[in-house]
Amino acid sequence: MSADKIIQDWQKGAFKPVYWLEGEEEYFIDKVMDFAEHKILNENEAGFNLTIFYGKDADWGAVINACRRYPMFSERQVVLLKEAQQMRDIEKLEPYIENPLQSTIFVVSYKEKKVDGRTKLAKILKEKGVMLSTKKIHEGQVPEWTKDLVEGKGLSISQKALRLIVDHIGNDLSRIENEIEKISVNLGKRKNITEEDIEEYVGVSKDFNVFELQSALASKDLGKAIRIVQYFEANPKSAPIQLILPSLYSFFSKVFMVYGVNSRDEKTVAQALGVNAWFVKDYIKATQVYNYAGVERILLLLHNYNLKSIGVNSINTTDGSLLKEMVVKMIA
């Protein structure tokens, strides 16, 4: 079951006694836990009927006792077990999960991993509980997810603004949501998020960023690439080399993969690479500027300069100098 479906059921007043939230993507787990903590019960009910445990300090007996209590002045009570992956003897919750109290909503947050499917606990959860199993969202899915998030707020976003925020933040969904929320508050009556909004409220220059550097390299525009690197050098916090190099490596890795696709149709290439179709034009454009050996050479340069950025075969060289040297070699 998805996080949205669980919350939608709760909003309709449809509750199950046990919810198990597990996996690598904390955003969806936190979203459900936050709703359970703040929205299921009203403020007066929560004072008597909301109990929160943390796995590292929780005693399994105390958790079960809390779950077996009857609600006071309310139809139901909520018991939350956060960070349950740190709890000792968590399997001792099995008897309660097998026979839960219907007036208790027991929600367990089990982050970073999943319960072993071979165990009795996993079998009981599948039979008696509602399970949310999450995976880290693939980078190719982040633009569409972000666009859906924006549209869910009744807003729209320009393609360049979308690229700016995704390239800057990556797949940190919680941070993306926080930044979109901050922007939406400042839009006033406007409904469209532009690259100027990203620049003003997120702090990413619309002209000097990793996306623009990728574009300059993809078209072999040395002058533009050097100007962007000089901006990075003057504003070190805007794009640290430890963020620039992985981003460029990801870009040129996908360009490299385009050579393995027997088509230059954008939808076909996007499907083969597992990326959003919006970004494919840049990958295809780069294959028209660089040949196979050229892209292979760029990937090797990025690897070597990544080593230099951490001091391997390079002593007392500034990040700006490394980037300038690398950019010249990539385009030469």
Annotated domain spans of the chain: 3-134, 139-202, 218-331
Q: Enumerate residues 6+ apart whose C-beta is below 8 A from 108.
A: 18, 19, 20, 21, 80, 81, 84
Average pLDDT of span 197-208: 89
Supply the pLDDT for residue 163: 87
pLDDT band, very low/low/confident/very high, at 271 (cuts 50, 70, 90): confident
Q: For the domain bounded by 139-202, which CATH number is listed?
A: 1.10.8.60
User: What confidence tens digit (pLDDT) does each residue in 225-261 have?
Assistant: 999 999 999 988 888 898 899 989 989 999 999 998 8
Supply the pLDDT for residue 11: 96
Question: Class of the 218-331 domain?
Answer: mainly alpha
pLDDT value at 50 more than 80: yes
Comparing 241 with 315, which gets the higher pLDDT?
A: 241
pTM for this one? 0.76
Q: Average per-residue pLDDT in the chain?
A: 91
pLDDT value at 194 more than 90: yes
Supply the pLDDT for residue 6: 96
Comparing 76 with 235, which gets the higher pLDDT?
A: 76
Percent of the chain topping pLDDT 70: 100
pLDDT value at 313 more than 80: no
3-state SS track over the chain: CCHHHHHHHHHCCCCCCEEEEEECCHHHHHHHHHHHHHCCCCHHHHHHHEEEEECCCCCHHHHHHHHHCCCCCCCCEEEEEECHHHCCCHHHHHHHHHCCCCCEEEEEEEECCCCCCCCHHHHHHHHHCEEEEECCCCHHHHHHHHHHHHHHCCCEECHHHHHHHHHHHCCCHHHHHHHHHHHHHHCCCCCEECHHHHHHHHCCCCCCCHHHHHHHHHCCCHHHHHHHHHHHHHCHHHCCHHHHHHHHHHHHHHHHHHCCCCCCCHHHHHHHHCCCHHHHHHHHHHHHHCCHHHHHHHHHHHHHHHHHHCCCCCCCCCHHHHHHHHHHHHHC
pLDDT band, very low/low/confident/very high, at 262 (cuts 50, 70, 90): confident
Supply the pLDDT for residue 93: 94
CATH classification of 3-134 is 3.40.50.620, yes or no?
no
pLDDT value at 277 more than 80: no
Average pLDDT of span 261-282: 83
